[in-house]
Structure 1
Amino acid sequence: MKIALAGNPNCGKTTVFNAITGRSEAVGNWSGVTVSAKEAGLKKKYNPEGREITIVDLPGAYSISPFTGEEAITSDFIKEKDPDVIINIVDGANVSRSLFFTTQLLELGVPVVIALNKNDIVSKRGDKIDVAALSSALSCPVIPVAATLEEGLPELLASAIEHGEAQSFIAPPSLASIDTDTARQKLVDQIVNKCLVKVRVANQITLSDKIDRIVAHKWLGLPIFFGIMWAVFSLSIEGVGGYFSAYLNETLFGEIVPNAANSFFENLGVDPLLQAVIVDGAIGGAGAVIGFLPLIMVLFFCLSLLEDSGYMARVAVVMDRFFKKIGLSGKSIIPMIVGSGCGIPGVMATRTIEDINEKRMTTILTPFVPCGAKLPIIALFAAVFFPENTWVGPSMYILAIVMILLGGLLLKKIFVWDSTSSFIMELPEYKIPSLKNALIQMFDKAKAFIVKATTIILVCNTLVWFASTYSWSLKPVEDQSLSILASMGSTIAPLLIPLGFVGWQLAAAAITGFIAKENVVATFAVLLVASEEALHMPGGVITEFFTPVTALAYLAFNLFTPPCFAAIGAMNSEMGSKKWLFRGLAFQFGVGYMVALIISQVGSLIVYGTPSIGFGPAIVITVLMALFLVFIIKRADFKRTQLGVDLS
């Protein structure tokens, strides 16, 4: 049996899906979190007989007539994949909006069971919904549920299975006379008036309204957001997350695991070369990344609480007024918030944007937001070069927002892009966030991080160790500068000199970072393994390559240059064009390169009174880049005003 979950965005579909399948898909207080159909088997708790039942979580839709990409996925699945029954998740806190889509589902001839979700919120408001009257008006079962509390789900599934097996379906007679959207909405209003008794007066100011006047204020909203992110990073890096990360880095992976592994292999009589590959290459590199796991877990736990509370939806509203200035809307902030966890789903979330120009711009700019893979880089450089300062982590987010705004302005000028989309979002009421959901999301992210560290990063570290130990003639080298990796890094290293970076090791780390951003930390761990000091210790061995200013520049370089290969693949899918993919990657590399150059050279002049290494080439590159931008912007303006050419 195939059961489809369908409903409006932000009605609780994915929360129901997670509860009845045991999955841990991302949830959020905005549309676009689910952008593709997800399938899973029904949890044994709700399927004791072990029947073959598949649950399909469909993207949110307001209409069966598709307007957006995710609505098309939902519409096509329902019409072409023949689900046995549809569980229509109706937002009990906004019945009128939800029932428009419900009446369309009832016309398709597929059995429908309605899950009247958020029953707990409706009860707290004091509103009353006559479930029997609603069921009678729609000619289908209506089951009150509270998905976050898992209340009513057994009854809901029992009803869905029963109707799916019986294929019983009776269309409401009132639908026969509907021929326009206006008539449909009129019918919905009639049903709502009969079934819903609202206690709260429409113009009554609620606690949520009072809070919104502060946190969503046009001037206070942004400083409050920065303050909250500062607190989150302080707790993650300087607080409990930093404490446990220090233990993992210094004690577990710094002493216990390497010593135990060396003793084990020595007792077995393993060849020293193989022992070095495993301990120094695989364990050393992966351990350097996993050591930052507690920091990442605390960060994602805090972000999950913020999302579940309803606050992050306000961030989208706050940012909308700034994004409109650069041709974007609040819709673009949603992929960027999703991208703070991982850039891949962040890029995929851009498919909810209808305007092609806005979608392209958002796809290019979303990877600028520091994702989970970049956090170990931030944590490493913050711990080594700025151990007494808490501003480094939050400042990277502030810098990302600045670069997104400036980058958007530049893209708009270069390609003469004008957005036609508008941003409308129903703000959810504030609620006490679910600790259970936050813990599930935290452990899910931790699991993904560990899997990545023990697969992609582990293999990459082994290859890095091999390439740094052997020459092209496959003979061991005593000096790493004679190795395969040194020769590869040396070919790229001259490009980094204008940024103040000298050393093939820095180029090599940047190269491996394109496979997975965590590899930047892992590569340093492998290359500097001979040091007796832990990699992340303040004033440690990595300070041989950087000053605090150039370290900040190197950090920015790795944050704003193109993302990992997997995220690039997602960009290619969403762009739908190799030409636009390469344009986007070139733009990202140019932004990352110039940001690092400015931080390194200008920062060194301000802090030390003298420019960094490569000042002369940096001046030449800056002048050439300025001339190039002036040329292409003037060309774009000329084509638009004189020739009327559509450059999009």
Structure 2
Amino acid sequence: MKIALAGNPNSGKTTLFNAITGKTEFVGNWPGVTVEKKEADLKKKYSVKGTDVRIVDLPGAYSISPFTSEEAITRDFVLGEKPDVIINIVDGANVSRSLFFTTQLLELGIPVIIALNKSDILAKRGDTVDANALGQAIKCKVIPITATTEEGLSNLINETVKIGKEKKSQAAPSFAGKDSADSDKARQKFVDEIIAKCQVKKRDASQITFSDKVDRIVAHKWLGIPIFFLVMWAVFSFSIEGLGGYLSGYFNDVVFGEVVPDAANSFLEGLGVSPLLQALIVDGAIGGVGAVIGFLPLIMVLFFCLSLLEDCGYMARVAVVMDRFFKKIGLSGKSIIPMIVGSGCAIPGVMATRTIEDINERRMTTILTPFVPCGAKLPIIALFAAVFFPESTWVGPSMYIIAICMIVIGGLLLKKLFVWENTSSFIMELPEYKIPSIKHALIQMFDKAKAFIYKATTIILVCNTLVWFAQAYSWRLQPVEDQSLSILASLGSVIAPILIPLGFVGWQLAAAAITGFIAKENVVATFAILLAVASEEALHLPGGALAELFTPVTAFAYLLFNLFTPPCFAAIGAMNSEMGSKKWLFKGLAFQFSVGYVLAMLVTQIGSLIVYGKTAVGFIPAVIVTIIMAVYLVMAIKKSDVKRGELGVEV
């Protein structure tokens, strides 16, 4: 039996899906989080004897007539694949809005059961919805539930399976035969009449609520951005300098610095393994992966905090605050949603851009979303912060501030260079503030940890093994004592000249940057492998082996270079899918590389003059590159202005 979950955005579909299937799909309190249908079997707790049940979570929709790509997916699935039953999730806090979509589903001839969700919010408000009266009015079974606490879910599944076996569709009211506008008016009038009979509101709609009072501060047009920066500073301080940093220090120093390597060496020596193979396993595989996994506690704490912020309703306010600024650069508040999702991983962040209808805005958002520091970039931030800025709490939050600045500047440049005009509008209903669910935050935290460990023990493990081999052998496959004679050194030396204007000298820096394009965590793992041979000190210690390759200024620049150049290969694949054009993909990658390159160059050259009172390595090449870039931008913008004038597009 196939059961589809359908409802308005932010009605609780994915929360219900996770609860009855045991999955951990991302849940957000804004529209556009679910951008494609997701399927899973019913978990054992809710299984019905003798019936195999498949649950399909559909993207949020306000109407069966699609306006967005998500609504098109929902419409196509419901009409094309004909599920046995549709569970229509109705937001108990917004019953009137939800029932408009319900009346359309009831006309399709597919059995429908209504899950009246968010009963806890109704109780908190003192409002009531008579489920029996509602069911009689629309001739459909209505089951009150609270998806977050799983209250009423067993009853919902049992009734759904029962209806599915009967295969009887409801005698729904029909609004066909009228034109679209008249049909919608008649439908809404029908819904309003039902609401008047079934819902009792004790709260005056004009009354100022607690959420309204808080929004006057956190969503203020001038205070909103500084408050967001303060919140992110607090989260990063707690994650990097506080609990997360303390636990990661223990993992790096003790677990992967002593216990695991010592145990592995003893075990391999006992087996009589050759020293070369032992070095490959301990220094290459374990050393590289351990350097990355050592930062796992920090990442878990950070995502736990971010999940709490999202669940309480704050991140939805961030989208609204950003909307007025994003409109200035050709984007809208819809673009902040992929960027927030991308803070966990750039891949789903890029995929979330498909919710943006305007093709130009979607492409621009796809290019800019990877600028947001994702989970894979956090080990790089943590490593460089620990080694070069051990007493500072500003490094982590500054990455988000710089990311927002680069998104704004990048958006302005893209709009100027490619003659893009914004046509999207952003309308979003803000959820009420609520006490965040610790359970939900823990689930999200462990889900991110599981994905991080899986990546570390697959892609990163393979890459680290190859890196160790490449730094230990020459092209003739002969072991080398001097790393500069290795395969890796020769590959890095080819790229190294490109990085000289950035003040980065040495094939090691180029090699680490190259491996970072496979997976950003590889930057940390590569340095761990390369420096383990030259030094016995732990990689993350202040003033340790890594400090021999950088000054604090060039370290900060190298951090920016790895954060703002193109993302990992998997995210580039997602960009290719969402761009819909190889030409625009390569334009986007070139733009991203240019932003990261120029940003790192400016930080190195200007920072060295300010901090050290002298020019950095590569100053003259940097001046030449700057002149070339400036001339190109002026010419490209002039060309775009001419094209803009021909098309009549306003800036």
- 2:370 — aligned with what? 367
2:564 maps to 1:560 = yes
- 2:592 — aligned with what? 588
2:356 paired residue among 348, 353, 357: 353
- 1:536 — aligned with what? 540
- 1:43 — aligned with what? 43
* Structure 2 CA distance for partners of 1:272 and 1:50, relative to 1, 3 Å: farther
- 1:511 — aligned with what? 514
- 1:480 — aligned with what? 483
- 1:205 — aligned with what? 208
- 1:16 — aligned with what? 16
CA contact (8 A) 1:137 1:172 kept: no
Structure 1: how far apart are the matches of 2:176 and 2:591? 54
- 1:187 to partner: Cα distance: 1.4
CA deviations over 1:318-366 (Å, ceiling 9, x no partner)? 1111101101110000000000000000000000000111101000000
Structure 1: how far apart are the matches of 2:176 and 2:371? 51
- 1:188 to partner: Cα distance: 1.4
- 1:173 to partner: Cα distance: 3.7
1:260-409 aligned at under 5 Å gives the runs 260-409=263-412
- 1:178 to partner: Cα distance: 6.2
Structure 2: how far apart are the matches of 1:644 and 1:27? 42
- 2:135 — aligned with what? 135
- What secondary structure, in the 3-state scheme, does the structure 2 residue paired with 1:113 have? strand
CA contact (8 A) 2:130 2:198 kept: yes
- 1:172 — aligned with what? 172
- 2:623 — aligned with what? 619
2:601 paired residue among 588, 597, 603: 597
CA contact (8 A) 1:416 1:647 kept: no
CA contact (8 A) 1:32 1:60 kept: yes
- 1:49 to partner: Cα distance: 1.9
- 1:82 to partner: Cα distance: 1.4
CA contact (8 A) 2:502 2:604 kept: yes
- 1:159 — aligned with what? 159
CA contact (8 A) 2:103 2:173 kept: no
- Calculate percent identity across the aligned residue pairs: 76
- 1:577 — aligned with what? 581
1:456 paired residue among 455, 459, 466: 459
- 2:530 — aligned with what? 527
- 2:107 — aligned with what? 107
CA deviations over 1:113-155 (Å, ceiling 9, x no partner)? 0000001101110111111111011111001101001111111
1:181 paired residue among 167, 181, 184: 184
CA deviations over 1:585-633 (Å, ceiling 9, x no partner)? 0000000000000000001101001111000000000010000000000
Runs of 4 or more off by more than 3 Å in structure 1? 173-179, 645-648
- 1:174 to partner: Cα distance: 5.6
CA contact (8 A) 2:268 2:278 kept: yes
- 1:48 to partner: Cα distance: 5.0
2:435 paired residue among 432, 435, 447: 432
CA contact (8 A) 1:143 1:155 kept: yes
Letter in 2 for 1:587: F
CA contact (8 A) 1:44 1:50 kept: no
CA contact (8 A) 2:90 2:116 kept: yes
- 1:68 to partner: Cα distance: 1.1
- 2:145 — aligned with what? 145
Letter in 1 for 2:577: S
CA deviations over 1:283-330 (Å, ceiling 9, x no partner)? 000000000000000000000000000000000011111101101110
Letter in 1 for 2:560: A
* Structure 2 CA distance for partners of 1:413 and 1:255, relative to 1, 3 Å: same
* Structure 2 CA distance for partners of 1:113 and 1:48, relative to 1, 3 Å: closer
CA deviations over 1:242-294 (Å, ceiling 9, x no partner)? 11100110111011111111111111100111111100000000000000000
2:636 paired residue among 624, 632, 642: 632
CA deviations over 1:447-467 (Å, ceiling 9, x no partner)? 000000000000000000000
- 2:59 — aligned with what? 59
Letter in 2 for 1:421: S
- What secondary structure, in the 3-state scheme, does the structure 1 residue paired with 2:273 have? coil
Structure 2: how far apart are the matches of 1:195 and 1:280? 68
1:62-141 aligned at under 5 Å gives the runs 62-141=62-141
Structure 1: how far apart are the matches of 2:623 and 2:218? 43
CA contact (8 A) 1:342 1:371 kept: yes
- 1:200 to partner: Cα distance: 1.0
* Structure 2 CA distance for partners of 1:647 and 1:277, relative to 1, 3 Å: farther
- 2:3 — aligned with what? 3
* Structure 2 CA distance for partners of 1:608 and 1:57, relative to 1, 3 Å: same
How many pairs does the alignment contain? 647
CA deviations over 1:214-236 (Å, ceiling 9, x no partner)? 10011111111100100100110
- 1:193 to partner: Cα distance: 1.5
- 1:645 to partner: Cα distance: 8.2
- What secondary structure, in the 3-state scheme, does the structure 2 residue paired with 1:204 have? coil
Structure 2 unpaired stretches of 5+: none
Structure 1 unpaired stretches of 5+: none
CA contact (8 A) 1:305 1:434 kept: yes
1:547 paired residue among 547, 551, 562: 551
Query: Greater shift after overlay, 191-200 or 603-612?
Result: 191-200
- What secondary structure, in the 3-state scheme, does the structure 1 residue paired with 2:59 have? coil
1:498 paired residue among 497, 501, 514: 501
Structure 1: how far apart are the matches of 2:61 and 2:574? 23
1:466 paired residue among 465, 469, 480: 469
CA deviations over 1:375-420 (Å, ceiling 9, x no partner)? 0000000000000000000000000000000000000000111111
* Structure 2 CA distance for partners of 1:292 and 1:634, relative to 1, 3 Å: same
**TM-score normalised according to structure 2 size:** 0.98
- 1:644 to partner: Cα distance: 2.5
2:244 maps to 1:241 = yes
- 1:172 to partner: Cα distance: 2.3
Structure 2: how far apart are the matches of 1:385 and 1:75? 54
* Structure 2 CA distance for partners of 1:176 and 1:322, relative to 1, 3 Å: closer
Structure 2: how far apart are the matches of 1:506 and 1:102? 58
* Structure 2 CA distance for partners of 1:176 and 1:417, relative to 1, 3 Å: closer
- 1:491 to partner: Cα distance: 0.2
Structure 1: how far apart are the matches of 2:71 and 2:38? 14
Letter in 2 for 1:257: V
- What secondary structure, in the 3-state scheme, does the structure 1 residue paired with 2:19 have? helix
Structure 1: how far apart are the matches of 2:137 and 2:459? 55
- 1:171 to partner: Cα distance: 2.1
- What secondary structure, in the 3-state scheme, does the structure 2 residue paired with 1:66 have? coil
- What secondary structure, in the 3-state scheme, does the structure 2 residue paired with 1:529 have? helix
- 2:25 — aligned with what? 25
